[in-house]
Structure 1
Amino acid sequence: MFVDYSKIPDDAKIWIYPSSRKFYNTEIEVIENKIAAFITSWKSNDEDFKASYQFLHNRFIILFADDEKSILTNSDIDASVSFILKLQEEYEVELLDKMNVCFKQGKFVQYKELKDFKKLLKDKAVTGKTIIFDNLITTKQDFENYWKVTVEDSWYNRFL
């Protein structure tokens, strides 16, 4: 069942899908409608299942699932990945490569392959104080507290 993000508990599972490009303003409403429709239909026969999403910076699709009373099966997770794959194909973006790096540069969010990000660090175009998005976190609590961190406070610090 689709619920407001605020009703999702802190220990809920999350999946963050960073887009390889910023979505255009003309795409956003349609994409949000598709995400909401997917979440509404995701495990729709299970009244105990609660899910939500956020669409942030015109780039990040974040799915939240409270599985405390309703266990997520492999089939349920496959359904969400299938949905993301359809979006990826339809909008010609990369959404499933979590090893690419998203970081703030001024007011913009940049998306780079890890090898290019390492080069930016080496060339000092990006520093330890640069804000990155840790798309590998797995709970709502971590999302709220550790999704946006400096490079030096993240697992990327090994490249400094």
Structure 2
Amino acid sequence: MFVDFNTLSEEAKVWVYPSNRKFYPQEIDDLNEKLKDFVDAWKSNDENFKASFELKYNRFIVFAAEEDVQLTNADIDAQVAFVLQLQQEYEVELLDKMNVCFKQGEFIQYKDVKEFKTLLKKKSVSAKTLVFDNLVQTKGELENYWEVPITESWYSRFLK
């Protein structure tokens, strides 16, 4: 069942899907509707299931589900299949885990790891640059550790 994202507990499980580009303003309403429909139908046979989504910065799709309900491989497969469908429909990349999302001023950049390392070497980004740790596991981690300086993320290993 779809619930307001803010009503989910800090322990709610999250999945972050970064897009290689911002969704265009004309895509947002339709995308939000599709996301809500998916979450509403996801595990609809389980009346205790509470889930939600957020579209952050018009670029990151975040799904969340309360931790007290067991998710099966089939449930996760359904989510991934839906994300694959979104990729095709909006012509974006959402499942590439070999990328780095970071802020440059007010803009969010999406680069592959190799390009990001080059930017570090050229000092185009610094240890203070804010990166998005899309591997966060819970809503609490999303709120507190998703958007952090490189030094506080797993990307800090690239600083050496």
Point out 4+ residue stretches in structure 1 off by more than 6 angstroms: none
CA RMSD of aligned residues (A): 0.7
Residue matched to 1:10: 10
Partners of 1:150 and 1:67 in 2: CA distance:
28
Partners of 1:103 and 1:128 in 2: CA distance:
12
Q: Which amino acid aligns with 1:59?
A: R
Q: Which amino acid aligns with 1:72?
A: L
Residue matched to 1:66: 66
Unpaired stretches in structure 2, ≥5 consecutive residues: none
In the TM superposition, 1:55-134 aligns within 5 A as 55-68=55-68, 70-134=69-133
Are the equivalent residues in 1 in contact too, given 2:11–2:67 (CA < 8 A)? no
Is 1:54 aligned to 2:48, yes or no?
no
Partners of 2:29 and 2:130 in 1: CA distance:
27
Q: Which amino acid aligns with 2:65?
A: A
Partners of 1:45 and 1:74 in 2: CA distance:
16
Quote how far apart the aligned CAs of 1:40 are: 0.4
Calculate the TM-score normalised by the size of structure 1: 0.97
Q: Which amino acid aligns with 1:138?
A: Q
Taking only the aligned residue pairs, the percentage that are identical comes to: 58
Partners of 2:16 and 2:58 in 1: CA distance:
13
Calculate the TM-score normalised by the size of structure 2: 0.97
Are the equivalent residues in 2 in contact too, given 1:49–1:67 (CA < 8 A)? no
Q: Which amino acid aligns with 1:101?
A: V
Partners of 1:98 and 1:65 in 2: CA distance:
21
Q: How many matched pairs?
A: 159
Q: Which amino acid aligns with 2:4?
A: D
Residue matched to 1:139: 138
Residue matched to 2:39: 39
Quote how far apart the aligned CAs of 1:104 are: 0.4
Partners of 1:56 and 1:65 in 2: CA distance:
17
Are the equivalent residues in 2 in contact too, given 1:12–1:66 (CA < 8 A)? yes
